[in-house]
Structures are given as C-alpha cells and as structure tokens.
Structure 1
Amino acid sequence: MLKRFLSSTASRRVANVLDEKIYQVTTYARPDDLCITRGQNAKLYDDLNGKEYIDFTAGIAVTALGHSNPKVAEILYKQANKLVHSSNLYYNKECLDLSANLIKKTKQLGGQFDASKVFLCNSGTEANEAALKFAKKHGITINPKKQGIIAFQNSFHGRTMGALSVTSNPKYRTPFGDLIPNVSFLNVNDELTKLKDYISSNKNELAGLIVEPIQGEGGIFPIPSEKLTGLTQICKDNDVIVIYDEIQCGLGRTGKFWAHAHLPKEAHPDIFTSAKALGNGFPIAATVVNEKVNNALKVGDHGTTYGGNPLGSAVGNYVLDVIGDEKFLKQVEAKGKILEAGLRELQKKFPEQIKDIRGQGLIIGAEFAEPPTEVIKKARDLGLLVITAGKSTARFVPALTIEDETIHEGLKIFEKAVESVYK
C-alpha cells in the first residue's frame, strides 16, 4: 500500500513538472520521460523518474570538467560573494587574468603562435559574430568592397543572424529568409587548386574564411592538416583573414589544448573562437586575434554588457589551469583511444550498420547507414545519453574527466542498444 502511494506521488510530481513545458517556446524536441535534476562528473540523474544515466554528451561538449565540479561550485560561491558584474566600462581583475592566461597558455601549448588580444563574450555564436565583424573590418580597411566571407558546406557556426549566415544547413537557414549577404559556401573536400582559384580570383571582395578544424554538428569530420595548411597560406597570400571555430573541438577535446595545435605554425589562424568548455557550463566565450586583426579595430567597434564578467572569468581561469596541463591532455588522449577502440570493435560486429568511426581525442562520431534515432532512444532507455550529429552520426563528447570504467560501461550499454535495434 505504501509503495503504491509513494509511486503515485512520484508520478504526480513528474506530471506536474512536465506540465510546465507548455511555457517553453516551440524550438526544441525533448523526450517527455526525462527531466534532469542533478549530475556528478559523467553521470546525470532524473530523480523525478528515479533514473541514472551515463552521460556521453557533456551538455554538448560543455561540461568538460564534469557535472557539479566541486571546485567550480566553490569558485562561483566565492566570486559571487565578491563581485558578479561591473560591465566593460571598467577593468576587473578576473577578466584581465583570463585574457592573459588564454594568450600565454595558447602559445605555450602549441596554439596560435601570434595570438595577441582577447574579446570575451557569452556564447559560441557571439564569439563567431565578433570574429566575422573583425574580419570584415580588416577587409574594409584595405578595400571598402572587401567584405565577403567564405564558409564551408556541412558547417555549423551558430544561430544568430551573422553566425547563421555562415552555417550551411538549409534546415537552419531557410525559415529565416534573407541573411547576411556576400557569403560563399565551398566544399572543403575540393582540391586546393580549385579553392585557390576561387579565393585568388575574388580576393578584392573577400574579407575572411571561417572553418571548424573538426566539423562538429555536421557529423564529426576532421579537416586534414594539409588542407588547413594550404587554405591558410592561400588566404594569407590574398589578405583574407582565417577564422578557426574551436567552440566544440577546442580546449582539450582532441588531446591538445586547441585542435589547431595539432597543425604546423603555417596553418595557424588569424582569429579563433572558444566557448562551451571555457565555463564548464557557465556562459562565457572568447574570440582570440592576432595584432594584424587588432590593428584594424577602433574603440566602439564592438561590445558586450556581460562579456568578461568576473564570475564567468573566474571559472574560465580555473578551466584553463586544469585543461592547460600536459598530463591532463595526455589523459584525454588515452581516454579517447579507449572510446575509439570500443566503437571500432562494435563496428566489426555491425559493419553493415556502422559505416565509419572518425574523430580525435574525446570528440568521436560513429556514422550509421541510416539515422541512428532508434539506437539513441534505446540507449537512453538503457541508461546512456548519446546525441547525434549530421544526418546519420552518433556523437560521443563525454566529460574530459570521465573515468575509464565509465567509458567501458557506457560502451556496453551502447552495444546493447545497437544489438537491440539491429540483431
């Protein structure tokens, strides 16, 4: 009798909470039987439904240092009792420290060799908006017609109007009509000679090129080193600013501090953007530029009310200290090998269903022959959270601090899900 009462009480509590979904705008498709209440490193809990999940999503590559990281909680508490916000009318120490740390650690750990200045904002799309504006401003200082942007098919750079304008997927673009003009989408898989011909013949109208070193939302497609090196050189020869979007693939996710740290110096960008992991869940982002870009900027060219606030900057400094450590990055690389090896073993068992495994470190995609919708749903039923990318890719971006045994446990659940759908 008591069990039935408690069960019915829990059911009513779940129903009451989910009834509140009517107040959410119609922009998301979420499962009706899942409401996250708390997390711990690489696990999430739905206490309303009494369920525990291994989390291979990390909030879409955000909680790199795990859910409910105790040090992050401590920093938020201490800083909130000291200073949360003061605006960009004045300097604050946390913001200055974060900017300095970003530049110093980037150079120390093989990232952009001429990184010089930082613009702090609040989200990945804002960081890309700043990058696009900076590139266009640089182009205009050379020639008022030099405003065009090159982006790539299969790209994703954000949902605001500027970032959306360089995002290729018609699903995101078409409902909103006219976007920012002078954007060209090229195929990154084309021969360098073809890309060079386009850039050099349009150099008087091109201000910048934006690319993800690993295309994330498009399906986890790493861009080959030689392609990025060649593109960067072509752009430099034609006064076209190179922007690397490292919002998902940066900050340790590939086993290097930045994804472009895997590349030779000749392939380093003029601008790169970061967000997601930078605040471990607290909204903060950064646009990092070299002196060439900064020299084109004037006071008043861009701004933000919340960007670089002391609270977010304090968390960002801690994140950089943890991830910007060679031992930590080697652990990420090792964990990535465990995850990749497990997925490749599963591919051997289901070669007709799983067509490819690709990625680097702890950003890995398993491409299926068809959209893995049912596999993802079955995995969730079994206690594993996985998300998709592109048309038919299961995406694995767990916390960088995930325990090895949790990776193995999650892989077993994923295998059961695949077996259940395809056996």
Structure 2
Amino acid sequence: MIPPVLPTYNRAPLAFVKGEGSWLTAEDGRRYLDLGSGIAVNALGHAHPALVQTLTDQAQKLWHVSNVYTIPEQERLAQLLTGNSFADTVFFTNSGTEAAELAIKMARKFHHDAGHPERTGIVAFEGAFHGRSTGAIAAAGSEKMVKGFGPLMPGFVHLKWGDSEGARAAITNDTCAVIIEPIQGEGGIRVVPDAELKLLRELCDETGTLLIFDEVQCGMGRTGRLFAHEWAGVTPDIMMVAKGIGGGFPLGAVLATERAASGMTAGTHGSTYGGNPLGCAVGARVVELIADPAFLAEVARKGALMRQGLESLVARHPAVFDSVRGEGLMLGLKCKPAPADVVKAGYEAGVLTVAAADNVLRLLPALNIPDADIAEALARLDQAAVRLETAQ
C-alpha cells in the first residue's frame, strides 16, 4: 500500500525536532553536526536569531497579497540583489526549478522579440542539475533524470563537461543560450575552470547568444564571493538563484540584465506565491548579512581551514578518500567506496553529509559555522572513515 507521502525519496531513518546553528537534534535526543545544511539551503545555520526575528516580525504584519499589488519587501530585496550583482532586474520564485523555467523562457523570448524566433537551441552540459520540471530535466539530459518522462522540451544540445572544442562548434549565430553551473553540485562538486567560463562568455558575445549561470547551489556566498562566477571575472546575462537566498525559507530568483529581460513584459510570466512578503523579508536579511565583505572573507577563511583538515583526512584514510575538490564551503570528498556508504557511516558518527555524482561526498556547512564545529566535523568524519575501514 502506498504511504500518505508519495515515496519519491529514499529517506534516511532520521527525523529531527530542533536545529540550532550547525546542529540538529533527532527525536531520540541525539545531536548531529549538520554539514549538509538542507543541501546548501540553511546558509546561516538553523534558527539564526536575526532570521527568526525577521520572519516573526513580518508574519505579524502581512503574509501574502499576490503580485497583483506592489510588495515593498520584494522591492527592497530586488534592490539589494541588483546593487550587489551584474543584474538590472529580478523576478522572484519559490524554488530553483521555477527559476530554471523562467531563465529558459526569458532567453527564448529575448531572441523572439529581437526578430529571431528560430533561435531556440540551448547548449547545456553533462552532469548538470537544473531542477526537476520537464524543462529543467531536459536541460540536464541525463538518463536518470529523463527516463520515463518524455516527450521532453526540445531544443537542448548536451556537451561533455569541460569540452571547449565542443562549445566552439555548438555555440553559433543560431544558438539561443548557454546554461551552466559555475560549480556543479549534484554533478560532484566539479568547479568549472575560470578559462572555461571566460571562453563561454567570449563565444556568447561573438554569436549574440545569452549566457545563463545556474548559481542555485554555488551562489549566495558559498564560495567566499557572493556569487561563484565572480572568481572568474565574468558575468552572465541571466542567473538563477535559490537555496541559500532564503536561509531556509522557500525562495528563488532570476537575475538578469535589462537587455536579456527585455522580452519579459506584463503578462509574459507570473507566480502566485513568488516574492511574497514573508520570503522577501527573510531574503533581504540574508543578503544583508552574507553580502558583507567581512562575512565573505570569513567564509573563504573557514573554507581554507576546512579544506586543510579534509586534505589531512584523505592522507590518513587513503582506502576511503581519494581527494578534495570545491571552493569555499562548497567542498567535496572523492570517495573510494560508494558515497552512500560514507553518508551512512557518518550517521553513526553523528555527522550529516550529502552524496553526489562522480563518487563524491558533498560538504555544505552553514557559512557561519564556528571553527570549533569545523574541528568537530573533521573528527566525526575521521570516525566515520575508521568505521568503514574496520568493516572492510
């Protein structure tokens, strides 16, 4: 008999009742150090006092009115985002998947209104994850994502990750857009080299193609810059953001230049809940905190500290770990055993991690994780590795 909750998740046998900072408390009272942050969502940890206060204050005033009306909280968050990025304008969603749908629509509408309705093809990359709508899974293209869900949205060309020559051939004067994650999350914490991002920007400029960055997982301070693409010194035309922007509250956004967004006039897109006062009030507070240069410098420092500890972990447990990858506090451990086995061993050691493709264990702690918790996390990962070695 099917359970009341649709069984689409292979859930861990854990249920949590309370969170504070980088820690979660389970129903049985046991505490776990959370290095997953709800898959990069709880950017400021659990129950951050400033976010709790902001949400409480807003909840006592106004929850929802719909986008039929002007929403001051939305205007404020949009100004913070445009003031701290390449973008001129923002559309608010409830998730990264919704942001992906709009990014695709926006790019195609731009070319349509520019007199080139035939420019609908979008270049995407192997290993990508852009969400789970039919458009987003078509952009990813992997069999795991698309099998059984056809027919899918047409018009996507998929290149191998890092295929520079393929990109040169695929991006032409007939291409609509290129969509890429500066750092693949689900794909295994694979960092796109700066030279690759610069090449894509050059090819897009040469051909009039729009460049879309998916920073749903790697954005919002996770790498030590507000957005990951800033390290390469390139900017997109359109960018998807979600996860960390709401600090745990469901919120997403599409950021764009005025030119790229020129086709999105009144009536071309909408959302009932997107940009509601609750989400935008919390999002504005998150951006205020994370965009502070001093905060971002601390993320970079903590990331270096954690990476150093992980490198030592790899050296001590070569039968379990192969290497470390990533930027800032978006880190991955390449594993010898299946990542799911390492995740399970972590449960036993009281530390929470997230599996990814390419045999990688994702480490996505709160951006404000204390140094003491980093040390404790490394100790618990060490215990997990010992358990795996003993079991072999």
Q: TM-score range by the shorter chain?
A: over 0.9
Query: Does residue 225 of structure 2 align to residue 256 of structure 1?
Result: yes
Q: Counterpart of 1:274?
A: 241
Which of 174, 179, 183 aligns to 1:214? It is 183
Q: Counterpart of 1:57?
A: 36
Which of 193, 203, 207 aligns to 1:234? It is 203
Of the two, which has the highest radius of gyration?
Answer: 1
**Paired residues for 1:128-277 under 5 Å:** 128-141=100-113, 142-190=115-163, 192-200=164-172, 203-204=173-174, 206-264=175-233, 267-277=234-244
**Paired residues for 1:54-133 under 5 Å:** 54-106=33-85, 112=86, 115-133=87-105
State how far apart, in whole Å, the 1-side matches of 2:4 and 2:262 are. Answer: 46
Q: Which amino acid aligns with 1:236?
A: D
Q: Counterpart of 2:293?
A: 326
State how far apart, in whole Å, the 2-side matches of 1:91 and 1:258 are. Answer: 28
Deviation at 1:356, TM superposition (A): 2.0
**Paired residues for 1:4-23 under 5 Å:** 22-23=3-4
State how far apart, in whole Å, the 2-side matches of 1:257 and 1:336 are. Answer: 14
Q: Which amino acid aligns with 2:46?
A: H
Q: Which amino acid aligns with 1:353?
A: V
Deviation at 1:331, TM superposition (A): 0.7
Q: Which amino acid aligns with 2:314?
A: Q
Q: Counterpart of 2:18?
A: 38
State how far apart, in whole Å, the 2-side matches of 1:43 and 1:240 are. Answer: 44
Deviation at 1:188, TM superposition (A): 2.9
Identity of aligned residues (%): 38
Instruction: Check 1:87–1:318 CA distance in 2 against 1; reply closer, same or farther (3 A cut).
Output: same
State how far apart, in whole Å, the 2-side matches of 1:286 and 1:305 are. Answer: 14
Query: Does residue 19 of structure 2 align to residue 24 of structure 1?
Result: no
Q: Counterpart of 1:311?
A: 278
Q: Is the contact made by 2:40 and 2:244 (CA closer than 8 Å) also made in structure 1?
A: yes
Which secondary structure does the structure 1 equivalent of 2:141 belong to? Answer: coil
Count of matched residue positions in the alignment of Structure 1 and Structure 2:
389
State how far apart, in whole Å, the 2-side matches of 1:198 and 1:30 are. Answer: 39
State how far apart, in whole Å, the 1-side matches of 2:337 and 2:159 are. Answer: 26
Query: Any unmatched runs of 5+ in structure 1?
Result: 1-20, 107-111
Deviation at 1:409, TM superposition (A): 0.5
Q: Which amino acid aligns with 1:304?
A: S
- Over aligned residues, Cα RMSD in angstroms? 1.4
Q: Counterpart of 1:371?
A: 338
Q: Is the contact made by 1:371 and 1:391 (CA closer than 8 Å) also made in structure 2?
A: no
Q: Is the contact made by 1:138 and 1:296 (CA closer than 8 Å) also made in structure 2?
A: yes
Deviation at 1:372, TM superposition (A): 2.4
Which secondary structure does the structure 2 equivalent of 1:176 belong to? Answer: coil
- TM-score (norm. length: structure 2): 0.96
Deviation at 1:350, TM superposition (A): 2.6
Q: Where is the helix percentage greater, Structure 1 or Structure 2?
A: 1
Deviation at 1:146, TM superposition (A): 0.8
State how far apart, in whole Å, the 2-side matches of 1:276 and 1:359 are. Answer: 18
Q: Which amino acid aligns with 1:117?
A: T
Which of 382, 386, 392 aligns to 1:419? It is 386
Cα deviations by residue, 1:317-347 (Å, 9 ceiling, x for unpaired): 1001000101100111111111111110111
Q: Is the contact made by 2:320 and 2:388 (CA closer than 8 Å) also made in structure 1?
A: no
State how far apart, in whole Å, the 1-side matches of 2:142 and 2:301 are. Answer: 33
Cα deviations by residue, 1:45-99 (Å, 9 ceiling, x for unpaired): 01x2221100000000000111011221111111111111111111111110010
State how far apart, in whole Å, the 2-side matches of 1:370 and 1:239 are. Answer: 45
Q: Which amino acid aligns with 1:136?
A: R
Deviation at 1:352, TM superposition (A): 4.4
